Amino acid sequence: MESIKQGKPFMVLDVEGASNCRPYNIGYIIGDKYGNIYEKRSIAILPCIWENLQNSNSFTKHMTHKNIQEVLNDIENSNSKYCYSSIEKVKELILKDCLQYRINEIWSYTLFDKSALKRLFQDDFQVLEKSIAFYDIVPAIVHTSLLNKKYVKWCRKNGYVTEKGNIQTKAEIVYRYLAGKTNFKEEHTALSDSEIEFEILLSAINSGKKIDRKEKR
């Protein structure tokens, strides 16, 4: 039997929550460049749910997709897709996973996820930053020419342009292009979004071109 190739594990992270609150939903995948997945987490943080609800005006303004109601409805479900956790427990779990898999790279789509994690960890965030670099997936897919002339043409054909006429690079659109699924819609739950972002990142890593690792500060 042919052995399965394994590479150095990294994390792809996604969060849900208002921009001025701690995230109420964290999802991440720990995998490698060969597509092996070692861990998946889907975490709901109850104290942060109340925090986001109390900031409902800001929440409505900054969030167009939210799964708070689903999270609340799922609490009593024995087959819930969320692991319900306190703030301290989720911090311990993330640190434990990073240590177990020797994670030194965390990837996410845009700067939002790192800043949200920083709000959650507060002073303890220094522990992560000392040994882990945070990278943005968007420069990685742009600078490997994953989003090439063919992608631009495809976006224009399908109307995936901004009001200013710029080509869209959000994860939902990029995944539609890579997967050939023009009807695909993000769930906007942290784990499901991290799953498509993992696939997008793998496409860049396996493009044969150098990845632009632009660390998030």
38-83 pLDDT per residue, tens: 999 999 998 998 888 887 655 455 444 467 888 888 888 878 889 9
Rounded to the nearest integer, the mean pLDDT of the chain is 87
Q: Residue 216's pLDDT is what?
A: 61
Largest CA distance in the chain: 58
Q: Does residue 217 have a pLDDT over 70?
A: no
Extract the tokens encoding 77.
Answer: 């479900």
Instruction: State the DSSP string of 98-124.
Output: HHHTT--EEEESSSHHHHHHHHHHGGG
Q: Residue 6's pLDDT is what?
A: 83
Reading phi first (left if > 0) and then psi (alpha if -120 to 50, else beta), residue 140 is in alpha
Q: Residue 20's pLDDT is what?
A: 86
CA–chain centroid gap for 70, Å, is 19
Q: Confidence class of residue 19 from pLDDT cuts 50, 70 and 90?
A: confident
Query: What are the pLDDT digits (tens) for 117-176?
Result: 999 999 999 988 899 999 999 988 887 777 788 999 999 999 999 888 888 889 999 999
CA distance 172 to 196: 8
Q: Using only the alpha carbons of the chain, give its radius of gyration.
A: 18
Residue type, 70: E
- Burial-class residue 88 by CB neighbours within 10 Å (0-12, 13-18, 19+): exposed
Q: Residue 214's pLDDT is what?
A: 65
Q: Residue 56's pLDDT is what?
A: 61
The CA–CA distances, whole Å, from 178 to 10, 169, 171, 197, 200 equal 21, 12, 10, 11, 8
Q: Confidence class of residue 215 from pLDDT cuts 50, 70 and 90?
A: low
